[in-house]
Amino acid sequence: MGFIIAIIGILYHIRVQGHRGGIMFVDKAEIFIKSGKGGDGRVSFRREKYVPDGGPDGGDGGRGGSIYALVDSSMRTLMDFRYKRKYAAEPGENGGKKNRFGKDAEDWIIKVPAGTIIRDKETGRVLADLTEIGQKQLIAAGGKGGKGNTHFKNSVRQAPTFAQQGRMGQEFTIILELKMLADVGLVGYPNVGKSTLLSVLTKASPKIANYHFTTLKPNLGVVEVVRGKSFVLADIPGLIEGASEGVGLGHDFLRHVERTKMLVHVVDVSGVEGRNPIEDFDNINKELHQYDERLSDKVQVIAANKTDIIYDEEVFNDFVKEMESRGHKVFPISAATQQGVTEMMQYVTHALDEIEEVVLIDIDDAHVIYEVQADKNQEIEYHVSDDVYTVSGNPIERLVYSTDFTDVESLRRFQSVLTKMGVFEELREMGIEDGDTVKIFDFEFDYYE
């Protein structure tokens, strides 16, 4: 078994990396994204001919570019992400004199095919479930622009000599996972005739050979047996025992079943290979259930295939009787001679109208879509070593870079903001004493009450 699985892995690698019909199928990618930093606020004062000591007029910085995912009809795979793995939006423009606002940066649009799910690699949270052409989803919000010194003028502070730094953008790694948007999935053991059935029904021409583990990537085709009513049919790669646990790349295969509305379960009922069709049917459903119990609950139409070469009529009759007793619709067919195929597909076409659209991620699901917000990490971190107390985090960084440490008013504001943030209270709870050192980025201060 170990040797066979190894061969499967090699074949899968070759087929996925190679071309078929000019299109390469890639279903998973990992990329790094970074939204733009907000522009800094400006420190500026009016300097006019008859107003030598004018008030502050520093403008606000512009917003940094956000990163969005957009479903594009021309995209079929995640191939592009194999060659470009880093995406960074531009920062916002800094504020100008005379209260001029800095320009907002252009947003970056990442184009993806329909059926793409995007997750935060670190947390596993779902950021987007993209199913429709034109659907657009925010993935990383651009940083907000900093305020110019105009905003910090008050009755006491008439000439603030500091401004606010623009907020940092968000940067993290995301996983893109393409789940095919097929209406109907063909499932069944390898070599039961799924590829033959697909080639008969559609214009797809999968490679067909008389050996197990032939189809190592999904094949898609459009079926139209009822005029004006078409649907997408997917030949899901053949399963083996242990697929739900990842054996034989099972997880890669099973993910393609999730979005289908209905399954056509192809079973070899000929008995030529000495297989028991009831056991084959149950084994496949066991793997589906173990991967995601919702898969085994899908409507299944049974294609009892290879009826043109039945070796044991009793085995065939027992199978049909057992499946019908479980409430399944059984169609005796022969994919090779096309006997019974049209009747089965007519039934499938009409049955699809009665099945609700698949919602892969529900609001009540454990993997609820995470709403992207600006300033992903706003926590303040504290560390102590040898009486040196280090304070860090995005809020602290913004405060430091918007402070002029040579200006008394700016220093007063710096201390006031730290107090409002609860920094001094936290340091006291950590046991800081007079004379200990507080380190904030590259700045060090002696602490005194």
Q: Is the pLDDT of residue 361 over 80?
A: no
Q: Is the pLDDT of residue 216 over 80?
A: no
Range of the domain at 290: 184-352
pLDDT beyond 60 at 242:
no
Domain boundary among 146, 162, 178: 178
Q: pLDDT digits over 129-150, tens only? A: 888 889 999 999 999 999 998 8
The terminus-to-terminus CA distance of the chain in angstroms comes to 72
Is the model's pLDDT at 151 over the cut of 90? no
Mean pLDDT of 404-427: 82
Strands 86-88 and 388-392, by their bridges, are unpaired
Which pLDDT score, from 0 to 100, does residue 141 have? 92
**pLDDT given at position 417:** 85
Q: Are residue 432 and residue 400 in the same domain, yes or no? A: yes
Q: Contact 145/102 with Cβ under 8 angstroms?
A: yes
Do 22 and 164 share a structural domain? Answer: yes
Q: Evaluate whether residue 200 is within a structural domain.
A: yes
For residues 275 and 199, state if they share a domain: yes
The reply to whether 357 falls in a domain is: no
425 located within any domain: yes
Instruction: Please check whether residues 188 and 204 belong to one and the same domain.
Output: yes
Question: Residue 23's pLDDT is what?
Answer: 39
Is residue 267 included in any domain, yes or no?
Answer: yes
User: Which pairing describes strands 388-392 and 437-440: parallel, antiparallel, or unpaired?
Assistant: parallel
Which of 162-171, 268-277, 318-327, 437-446 shows the highest mean pLDDT? Answer: 318-327
Residue 9 has pLDDT above 80, yes or no: no
Asked whether the beta carbons of 232 and 182 are under 8 A apart, the reply is yes
Q: Mean pLDDT over all residues of the chain?
A: 78
Tokens of 87: 């995406």
Q: What is the CATH number of the domain that holds 278?
A: 3.40.50.300
Q: Are residues 336 and 197 in the same domain?
A: yes
Amino acid 38: pLDDT: 94
- For residue 300, what pLDDT band results from cuts at 50, 70 and 90? very high
Q: Is pLDDT above 80 for 48?
A: no
Q: Is 38 a domain residue?
A: yes
pTM, whole model, 2 decimals? 0.60
Q: Does residue 161 sit in the same domain as residue 93?
A: yes
Asked whether the predicted pLDDT for residue 54 surpasses 60, the reply is: yes
* The pLDDT of residue 20: 34
Is pLDDT at 244 greater than 50 in this prediction?
no
CATH of the domain at 27: 2.70.210.12
Nearest to 143 by CA among 125, 120, 166: 166
Query: In terms of domains, do 331 and 269 share one?
Result: yes
Q: What is the CATH number of the domain that holds 432?
A: 3.30.300.350
- Structural domain count, the chain: 3
Q: What is the mean pLDDT of residues 376-391?
A: 80
| pLDDT reading at 426 higher than 90 | no
Both 136 and 198 in a single domain?
no
Question: What per-residue confidence (pLDDT) applies to 207?
Answer: 40
pLDDT on residue 217: 56
Residues 106 and 84 in one domain: yes
SS (HEC) of 67-131:
EEEEECCCCCCCHHHHCCCEEECCCCCCCCCCCCCCCCCCCEEEEECCCEEEEECCCCCEEEEEC
Asked, for residue 116, whether it belongs to a domain, the answer is yes
The span from the CA of 195 to the CA of 203, in Å, is: 12
Residue 187 has pLDDT above 50, yes or no: yes
Please state the rounded mean pLDDT for residues 343-350: 92
pLDDT for the residue 191:
77
Quote the pLDDT of residue 360. Answer: 54
Amino acid at 170: Q
Please check whether residue 171 lies inside any domain of the structure. Answer: yes
Does 302 score more than 90 pLDDT?
yes
362 lies in some domain: no
